[in-house]
Amino acid sequence: MVSAGIEIDGKMLKEINPYMFFSSFLLFLILLWPLSLDAAPVRGRVSDRDTGEPLPGATVLAVGTNHGTAADSLGRFALPDLAPGGYEVRVSMIGYAPHILPVFVTFGDTLFLDIGLEPVELEEEEVVVTATRTVRHIDDVPVRIEAIPQEEVEEKLLMTPSSTAMLLNESTGMRVQTVSSGSGALNMRI
């Protein structure tokens, strides 16, 4: 076994077992690990200031960083992995005034924020949607069309009043299939 020690004035002060040293160091790291797992030093809840209702989907951002998140269905959020220091947290959502507040994150502490956003009316320019349609007669459309005269429809319905499927099956390009005879459901393919 190899042993090492500190030598001062020709005297060996203490012998250090390298395996014991490595084991102690490893144990120290394992015990220190949970302190570094403070994964969300800033947590909170976003709600409507007037009603107190949670605001799911509200955006929460630590300004000047790439740390941001959206509130869950209960309005809760967590900003993970923020290093200790001062930040501005910006909370926003459509229909609400954005809210910016300064926060100071310290090592090992979780900061809880309860943020109420103020509703605002959105004032946007008017949008007008218009459409035009040219007048076209069915005879002028460049696709195959088959028209069934009214007399033929009435005659077929007199012979089999409950079966419009048979009438449509005789039309070119239509395929009608009875799916359920009890309910009369039809499957039509063109």
Mean pLDDT over all residues of the chain? 78
Q: What is the pLDDT of residue 71?
A: 94
pLDDT band at 53 (very low <50, low <70, confident <90, very high): very high
Q: What is the pLDDT of residue 4?
A: 56
Contact 148, 167 (CB under 8 A): yes
Q: Is the pLDDT of residue 8 over 70?
A: no
Could you give the domains of the chain?
42-117 (2.60.40.1120), 145-189 (no CATH)
**Nearest by Cα to 108 from 82, 132, 79:** 82
Section 135-146 average pLDDT: 71
Handedness of CA 133, 136, 137, 140 (dihedral sign): negative
Handedness of CA 144, 149, 155, 161 (dihedral sign): positive
Burial of residue 10 (number of CB atoms within 10 Å: 0-12, 13-18, 19+)? exposed
The pLDDT tens digits for 15-39 are 666 777 777 777 766 766 555 544 4
Residue 47: Cβ within 10 Å count: 19
For the entire predicted model, the pTM comes to 0.48
pLDDT band at 188 (very low <50, low <70, confident <90, very high): confident
The one-letter amino acid at 110: T
